[in-house]
Amino acid sequence: MLFDYFDMLGDGIEFLIALGSIIGLLGLIIGILGWLFLGQFQRHKMIGVIVISLVLLIVCGINTGLRYFRIY
């Protein structure tokens, strides 16, 4: 019973790491596109989005979400 709980807890943590990886990757793409095509005021916000996305990718890993959700 206790091992099932820790197994489910591990699966949940793995899911959250994979989700953070996907969100970081999408944020990086949106941030770069926004930085290229939006006005001057919005560019400063997009730089923040890019930095946060890079931190998420560093913490969660780039390929983790792609492997977990089987996106190739």
Q: What is the pLDDT of residues 4-18, one digit of tens each?
A: 888 999 999 999 999
Is 15 among the domain residues? Answer: no
Residue 45's pLDDT band (boundaries 50, 70, 90)?
A: confident
**Number of domain units in the chain:** 1
Is 38 among the domain residues? Answer: yes
- According to the model, what pLDDT value does residue 3 have? 77
Is 11 among the domain residues? Answer: no
- According to the model, what pLDDT value does residue 23 have? 94
Percent of the chain with pLDDT over 90: 47
Look up the domain containing 42 and give its range: 20-65
Q: pTM, whole model, 2 decimals?
A: 0.82
Of residues 52 and 44, which shows the higher confidence score? 52
Average pLDDT score over the chain: 88
Long-range contacts of 15-20 (CB under 8 A, 24+ apart): 15/68, 17/60, 17/61, 17/64, 17/65, 18/60, 18/64, 18/65, 18/67, 18/68, 18/69, 19/65, 20/56, 20/59, 20/60, 20/65
Is 4 among the domain residues? Answer: no
